[in-house]
C-alpha cells in the first residue's frame, strides 16, 4: 500500500514511521523503476519482432530476450519482498496485518 492511498490513514502511522517508510521506498524504488523500464523495453522489442515487423523471426531467436525479461521480473519480485520485509520492521504487528489485509484485498 502506498502512503498516498486513502486507506493508509487506517494505519495511524507516526511521523517517524512515515519518514522511515519513505526512506525505504526511496532506497528501493530507483532500482525497481530502472528494472521495470528495461522489462517494458524488452517486451516491446519482442512484440515488435513478432507482430509488427513479422520478418520471420524464430522463437529461438527470442529466447535470450525472454530469459532476460524473466530474470529482471524475478529481481523486481525480490525487491518488492525486501521492501515489505523492511517496512514490517517499522510497523507494529497490528499495522503490518492491516497493510497485508489491504494488499491482499486489492491484489485482485
Q: Where are the domains of the chain?
A: 14-105
Tell me which of 6-15, 43-52, 74-83 is least confident.
6-15
The whole-model pTM stands at: 0.76
Distance between CA atoms of residues 29 and 44, nearest Å: 22
pLDDT of residue 33: 94
Q: Is the predicted pLDDT of residue 14 greater than 50, yes or no? A: yes
Most confident listed range (65-74, 75-84, 91-100): 65-74
- The number of helix segments (H) and strand segments (E) in the chain equals 3, 0
Task: Give the residue among 12, 32, 30 at the shortest CA–CA distance from 74.
Answer: 32
Cα 23 from chain centre: 16
Q: Quick one: average pLDDT of 82-103?
A: 89
**pLDDT, tens digit, 9 for 90 and up, residues 23-56:** 998 888 888 999 999 999 999 999 988 887 666 7
Predicted local distance difference test score (pLDDT) of residue 108: 42
Question: How far apart, in Å, are the Cα atoms of 67 and each of 33, 43, 55, 64?
Answer: 19, 11, 21, 5
CB 23 within 8 A of CB 30: no
Amino acid at each position: 500500500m502506498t502512503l498516498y492511498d486513502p486507506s493508509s490513514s487506517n494505519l495511524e502511522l507516526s511521523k517517524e514511521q512515515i519518514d522511515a517508510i519513505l526512506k525505504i521506498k526511496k532506497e528501493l524504488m530507483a532500482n525497481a523503476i530502472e528494472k521495470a523500464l528495461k522489462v517494458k523495453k524488452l517486451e516491446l522489442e519482442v512484440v515488435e519482432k513478432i507482430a509488427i515487423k513479422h520478418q520471420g523471426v524464430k522463437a529461438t531467436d527470442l529466447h535470450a530476450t525472454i530469459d532476460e525479461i524473466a530474470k529482471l521480473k524475478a529481481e523486481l519480485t525480490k525487491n518488492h519482498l525486501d521492501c515489505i520485509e523492511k517496512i514490517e520492521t517499522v510497523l507494529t504487528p497490528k499495522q503490518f496485518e492491516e497493510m497485508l489485509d489491504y494488499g491482499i484485498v486489492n491484489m485482485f
